[in-house]
Structure formats: structure tokens, C-alpha cells
Amino acid sequence: MALQVGIVGLPNVGKSTLFNAVSNSAKAQASNYRFCTIEPNVGLVDVPDARLMKLEELVKPNRVVPTTIEFVDIAGLVKGASKGEGLGNKFLANIREVDAIVHVIRCFEDDNILRDEGPIHPVGDKGIIDTELQLKDLESVEKKISRTEKMAKTGGDPKAKREYEILKQCQEHLEQGRNIRELNLSKEDSVAIADLFLLTAKPVLYVANVDEASIHTGNKFSEALAVAAKEEGAQVIIMNNSIEAQISEMEDPADKELFLSEYSLTEPGLNRLIRSAYDLLQLITYFTAGVQEVRAWTIHQGWKAPQAASVIHTDFEKGFIKAEVIAYDDYVKFGSETAARDNGRLRIEGKEYIVADGDVMHFRFNV
């Protein structure tokens, strides 16, 4: 599944530094000047999962393949972007294509790093980007309202009338300076705006980029951001992007472990970020485990077995017969597929089975 998370923020807040840290397939240029990132950088990121390592230990396969998420480093946005200021149009086109947003916000003071927006103000910075995205969404919503209004009022079509009502609701919400995701529209109602790919409808995760002294406890800036994020039901992750970039460049696990211990960290903050982004997209993982390969597969929560099989190959879904399923905990408890089977913990599930996070699966199919 090619799912993308866009890294956004004002210029010089640490976006590209964060991208350098999370990406294991590309390195973005990180410099102290505006619009350093023009074309979006794209990198595949392995999703850290201790369960995969445990399965490797038990199965001893020829290779191990983790699941991944694609991160996109998007050009910095400025006030007026919705009207084309800076690289606004390019920024907004790039962000429209991603599935979720990681919004990096500066939560540290440093006179050596340029900042045109005045004193450090995380909530204000969040508001700048929120406003630009809301203005662009409002433009899209109003255009569709003008197209559907006559049909809704004179056509007698209940579907058109409901669509018009939802669009007006979105318009009012945006005019109040609120994001569409806060409306919590049902799946049925979301159809009315699905074709607009609204920017503020995308799920968001905030990264408070703090100084070294604040990586464990945060600071007054990150605390203010957390309060603002809570109002829209969003999560804030506290990180020092420069430290994370240094950790990511270390190839020797011993060196990395020593570096982490110096900062009293049990794992890189990136691991939390990647897992949180994964959860933000409402994704889960199932595994296939054999001597040739142990592999993690990404699917959406609530997918049934044939849909889950399709991420391996579309033929698996078309010719789906049954799925052999062992819960991860049972696999670990008994130590192997054979032992789990012998103890009655291998189940045969059909087309209506909803795959659970951590399931170890084999699919029976016929094409």
C-alpha cells in the first residue's frame, strides 16, 4: 500500500532535518534559508516493530521484510500561500496528494536560526498554516456549492440536497477558522466532499521540535502547542530533530545505543513518530512467516481476509478460498506454526474474517 505522510511547516522549523532522520532511502537538503526545499523529497521509512524481530528469532528465515510508510518533505509554507505567496501553490498541490500530515513546529529559541515571524510562538505558527489550508479549502467548497446549489434547491433530489447541506456545513466551519477533520463527518456524509481532497480533512500529527534540554519534559512552547492540539483531538510528539538526525546516521548499533544512553533515551524519538503516523492512518500489520521470508504487511483497520490478501497479490483476493490464522501471541507462546497447529491455535477463517493486528497468516487461493 503506497501511503504517504507529508512533513509540513513554516520555513526553518526543522522539516528537512526531520526528513533526513526518518528517511532510509533519500536525504533532503537541510539549510538555513527560506524555501530550501522546493521539489518535495520522498523517502521510504521502515515501520519499527519488535514483533517482526521476534518472528525472525523464531523462524530464522532467509530474509526479513518490514512494512513501510512513504514520507514526503514539502516546501515551507508562508502567510499568503493560499493566494500564491512564496511557493504556496506548489506547497498546496503537494500536500493535497498525501494521506496524512506531520506538522513540524519550532519550540526552541536560537538567534542563529532565521525566523521572519517574530518571537517563538508555536500556537501562532500552527495558526498560520491552519489558516492558509482553511482558505484554500473554503475556495474549493464554495466552488462546489455554486455548482450544486440550484440542483439542491429546485431539483427535488434528496441526495443533492444532503450534499448541499454538508457543503454549507463545511463552509460555515471553515469560515469560523476550524479544520474539516474536526467535523467528524460520517463515511456517508464524507462522500459529498471526497472529490475535493480537502487539506484540513487530512489527519494531522504535530511534532514539537524542542532544544536538547527539553527532550524529556518539553517546555513552555511545547506545552502551549499541546493545549491547542488537544482542542482538535490531535497528538503532539516532542523531539529534537537535530539529535534524531545524528542518531539516524549511525550505522553501528553499539554507537547508537551509547548515544541514546547519553541522552537517557530508550529508543529514537523517530520510532514513536513513525508508529504514531502509522496509527494516525488507522493502519495495522499482519505477518507472513516461512523459512524463505518473514514479512510485515500493511492494511487498514477493519479489512477482511480477502482484502488483506490483495496486498500480497491481487490474484490472492480474486481466488481467495480460506486463510490460515495464528494470533501473534499464540505463535510466540508455542514457538512455531507447527506447535501452534498441534495445540489447536491455528484457525481456518473465511471471507468475512476481519484481520486483527499481529495475525500471522497464510492464504489458500485458486486462480
Q: CA-CA distance, 102 to 229, in Å (whole number)? A: 12
Find out whether 240 is annotated in a ligand binding site: no
**Could you tell me the CA-to-CA distances from 96 to 74, 136, 199, 226 in Å, in that order?**
11, 11, 6, 25
Q: Does 193 share its domain with 242?
A: no
Instruction: Provide the whole-model pTM.
Output: 0.82
For residue 223, the model assigns a pLDDT of: 97
For residue 78, the model assigns a pLDDT of: 53
For residue 88, the model assigns a pLDDT of: 44
Find out whether 17 is annotated in a ligand binding site: yes
Using a 10 angstrom Cβ sphere, with 0-12 exposed, 13-18 middle and 19 or more buried, the burial of residue 108 is buried
Residue 299 phi, psi dihedral angles, 5° rounding: -140, 165
For residue 33, the model assigns a pLDDT of: 35
Domain that holds residue 346: 302-365
Q: Does 224 share its domain with 260?
A: yes
Unique residue bearing C-alpha cell 496524512 = 100
Mean pLDDT split into 10-residue runs, the chain, 367 residues: 82 84 54 41 84 96 91 68 49 80 91 76 92 90 88 76 91 94 90 91 94 94 95 92 88 90 90 88 95 96 96 93 97 97 97 97 91
Q: Which of 90, 95, 110, 79 is nearest to 4 (CA)?
A: 95
Find out whether 141 is annotated in a ligand binding site: no
Find out whether 338 is annotated in a ligand binding site: no
Find out whether 54 is annotated in a ligand binding site: no
Residue 220 lies in a domain: yes
3-class secondary-structure state, position 287 = strand
Q: Does 260 share its domain with 113?
A: yes
Residue 18 in contact with residue 40, Cβ under 8 Å? no
Q: Provide the CATH number for the domain around residue 88.
A: 3.40.50.300
Which residue(s) pair with 236 in the sheet?
Answer: 206
Find out whether 242 is annotated in a ligand binding site: no
For residue 354, the model assigns a pLDDT of: 98
Last residue of a domain, which of 216, 244, 279? 279
For residue 36, the model assigns a pLDDT of: 39
- At 119-138, the pLDDT tens digits run 889 999 999 889 988 998 99
Number of domains in the chain: 3
For residue 339, the model assigns a pLDDT of: 97
- At 204-249, the pLDDT tens digits run 999 999 999 999 999 999 999 999 999 888 999 999 999 988 888 8
For residue 38, the model assigns a pLDDT of: 41
Cα dihedral sign, 287-290-294-298: negative
Residue 193 in contact with residue 166, Cβ under 8 Å? yes
Q: Does 207 share its domain with 327?
A: no
For residue 86, the model assigns a pLDDT of: 44
Q: Does 10 share its domain with 115?
A: yes
Residue 197 is which amino acid?
F
